[in-house]
């Protein structure tokens, strides 16, 4: 290992792993048996804003023809035809019979048909219920900085625009993390979405997409004497510092190295899965999550949250070429992960859901689409009440009651209403949910019962 590479990984991961141990103490409260009651949530974040109008497509002929007319030349250039005979209908009767998925989402479609996935329609950040009238006359309270990538990513994860301190995943772990023998390994990220897993006590632990801890074992270094010196220095061994901050930093470094060693030892011993993950970035991240879940007993984990991500969805241009490829990667990654959980016998104990900055406009801007608001998402797992729609599916036209302009959907289901059932499934009570999701009380309709 090169010295520069080692030091960069120290900077990327050790601080994240150790701050949590300092902030909440290293001796957690009473814990459940990690092997008897394990549950985990996995968020797949689609960075850039997934085009919801190319996720759920009208299947009834007249509605489809209107959708195709509004999409215009964008459809003629699609890498995979969006013709009626090439779509995957969501149902054979009822409202879902009039809706379909594109061919690239065939794996998720199969999970939906078998009851292992549900569709959450028109989800997005809200402070209160909003209609087209209250949006247009400025009488509704709206999330700050709508249609801004970084701010809406932050709002999805933490309820506020860029600068938010806490994410709802981290606040979930604040409530649940003491069930884990190693609380510092409860929230794990494979990318740059640390906000989602940051709580008042919880700090995310960073893992590389290949599955190694963000700070690799020091034994990987190619100079034994230098390894020993670095280990002693980073652990603060033999330090005589008396300044409180210096002592705290030394303690943080020691705790971080201990967490890395524990993670490394636990995950190196897991057997290879027969499930094959796609050979791309998202597949590698989801494979790392699966390996971490395999090691749950060695890690003493009872409740865990993960976030992985894939970028490229800001399709202002070249959407016809790029979006089908991205959709296929998401589909292959999610279906492989679900199959891995089935292989482990944990498909009822692990639930995956998608999220994104926002949806996109129905009206194209030539060869792409612009920033939207509400979007459609999936929740996958054996505990999900699948094969159903939760939320709303506004008609694929302009000027309806949930149109904020150009086919930007005004959300009908808030992020809090998506999150609350997940938190309750993880074991949170009403008081804990109210703390983690303070805006939940602004919505008179109860959260959908999708799990």
Phi, psi of 48, rounded to the nearest 5 degrees: 120, -25
The mean predicted confidence, pLDDT, of the chain is 88
Confirm if 414 and 443 have CB atoms less than 8 A apart: yes
List residues bridging with 350 in a β-sheet. Answer: 40
Distance (Å, rounded) from C-alpha 144 to C-alpha 127? 10
* Among candidate residues 88, 106, 109, the one with its CA nearest the CA of residue 97: 88
Distance (Å, rounded) from C-alpha 15 to C-alpha 182? 16
User: Tell me, what's the pLDDT at 36?
Assistant: 65
Residue 132 to residues 147, 348, 398, 412: CA-CA distances in angstroms?
A: 16, 39, 12, 11
- Residue 127, exposed/middle/buried by CB under 10 A (0-12, 13-18, 19+)? middle
Residue 278 structure tokens: 């796609």
Confirm if 374 and 52 have CB atoms less than 8 A apart: yes
Q: What is the mean pLDDT of residues 182-210?
A: 92
- Residue 137, exposed/middle/buried by CB under 10 A (0-12, 13-18, 19+)? exposed
- For tokens 């499934």, the residue is 425
CA 247 to chain centre: 36
Contacts of 12 (CB under 8 A, 6+ apart): 206, 214, 215
Distance (Å, rounded) from C-alpha 328 to C-alpha 290? 20
Confirm if 105 and 119 have CB atoms less than 8 A apart: no
Q: Which residue has the higher pLDDT, 72 or 235?
A: 72
CA 118 to chain centre: 16
Q: Which 3 state secondary structure label does DSSP give 434?
A: helix
List, for residues 140-168, the tens digit of each pLDDT value: 999 999 999 999 999 999 999 999 999 99
User: Tell me, what's the pLDDT at 254?
Assistant: 66
Return the minimum-mean-pLDDT range out of 51-55, 141-145, 256-260, 311-315: 256-260
Q: Where are the domains of the chain?
A: 34-214+279-442
* Among candidate residues 419, 284, 383, 330, the one with its CA nearest the CA of residue 55: 330
User: Tell me, what's the pLDDT at 249?
Assistant: 63
User: Tell me, what's the pLDDT at 15?
Assistant: 42
Each as own residue / partner, the long-range contacts of residues 422-431 (CB below 8 Å, 24 or more positions apart, any chain) are: 422/41, 422/351, 422/353, 422/379, 422/451, 423/168, 423/172, 423/175, 425/39, 425/351, 425/383, 425/451, 426/39, 426/41, 426/172, 426/176, 426/303, 427/39, 427/176, 427/179, 427/303, 428/172, 428/175, 428/176
Q: Which residue has the higher pLDDT, 396 or 235?
A: 396
Task: Please give the class, per CATH, of domain 34-214+279-442.
Answer: alpha beta
Phi, psi of 127, rounded to the nearest 5 degrees: -100, -20
| Predicted structure pTM score | 0.89
Phi, psi of 335, rounded to the nearest 5 degrees: -70, -35
List, for residues 405-449, the tens digit of each pLDDT value: 999 999 999 999 999 999 999 999 999 999 999 999 999 999 999
Residue 183 structure tokens: 């609380």
Q: What is the mean pLDDT of residues 244-265?
A: 72
Grade residue 338 by pLDDT with cuts at 50, 70 and 90.
very high
Strands (E), 29-147: 39-46, 57-58, 88-89, 99-101, 117-124
């Amino acid at each position: 290992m090169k010295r520069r590479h080692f030091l960069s990984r120290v900077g990327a991961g050790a601080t994240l792993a150790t701050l949590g141990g300092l902030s909440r103490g290293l001796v957690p409260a009473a814990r459940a048996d990690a092997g008897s009651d394990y549950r985990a949530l996995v968020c797949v974040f689609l960075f850039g804003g997934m085009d919801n109008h190319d996720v759920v497509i009208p299947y009834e002929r007249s509605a489809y023809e209107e959708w195709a007319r509004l999409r215009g030349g964008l459809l003629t250039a699609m890498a995979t035809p969006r013709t009626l005979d090439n779509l995957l209908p969501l149902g054979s009767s009822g409202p879902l019979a009039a809706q379909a998925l594109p061919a690239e989402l065939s794996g998720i479609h199969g999970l939906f048909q078998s009851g292992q996935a549900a569709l959450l329609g028109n989800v997005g950040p809200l402070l209160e219920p909003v209609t087209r009238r209250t949006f247009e006359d400025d009488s509704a309270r709206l999330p700050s900085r709508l249609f801004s990538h970084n701010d809406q990513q932050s709002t999805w994860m933490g309820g506020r625009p860029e600068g938010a301190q806490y994410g709802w995943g981290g606040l979930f772990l604040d409530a649940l993390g003491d069930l884990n023998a190693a609380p510092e390994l409860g929230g794990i990220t494979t990318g740059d979405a640390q906000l989602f897993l940051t709580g008042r006590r919880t700090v995310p632990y960073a893992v590389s997409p290949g599955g190694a801890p963000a700070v690799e074992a020091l034994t990987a270094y190619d100079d034994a004497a230098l390894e020993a010196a670095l280990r002693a220095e980073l652990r603060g061994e033999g330090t005589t510092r008396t300044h409180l901050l210096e002592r705290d930093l030394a303690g943080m470094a020691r705790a971080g190295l201990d967490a890395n060693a524990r993670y490394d030892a636990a995950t190196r011993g897991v057997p290879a899965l027969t499930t094959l993950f796609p050979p791309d970035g998202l597949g590698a991240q989801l494979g790392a999550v699966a390996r971490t879940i395999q090691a749950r007993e060695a890690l003493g984990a009872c409740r865990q949250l993960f976030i992985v991500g894939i970028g490229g969805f800001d399709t202002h241009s070249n959407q016809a070429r790029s979006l089908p490829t991205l959709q296929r990667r998401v589909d292959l990654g999610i279906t492989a992960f679900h199959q891995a959980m089935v292989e482990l016998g944990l498909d009822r104990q692990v639930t995956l859901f998608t999220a994104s900055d926002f949806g996109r406009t129905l009206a194209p801007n030539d060869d792409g689409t612009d920033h939207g608001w509400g979007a459609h998402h999936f929740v996958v797992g054996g505990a999900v009440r699948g094969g159903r729609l939760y939320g709303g599916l506004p008609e694929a036209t302009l000027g309806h009651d949930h149109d904020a302009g150009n086919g930007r959907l005004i959300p009908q289901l808030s992020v809090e209403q998506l999150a609350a059932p997940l938190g309750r499934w993880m074991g949170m009570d009403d008081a804990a949910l109210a703390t983690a999701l303070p805006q939940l009380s602004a919505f008179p309709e109860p959260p959908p019962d999708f799990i």
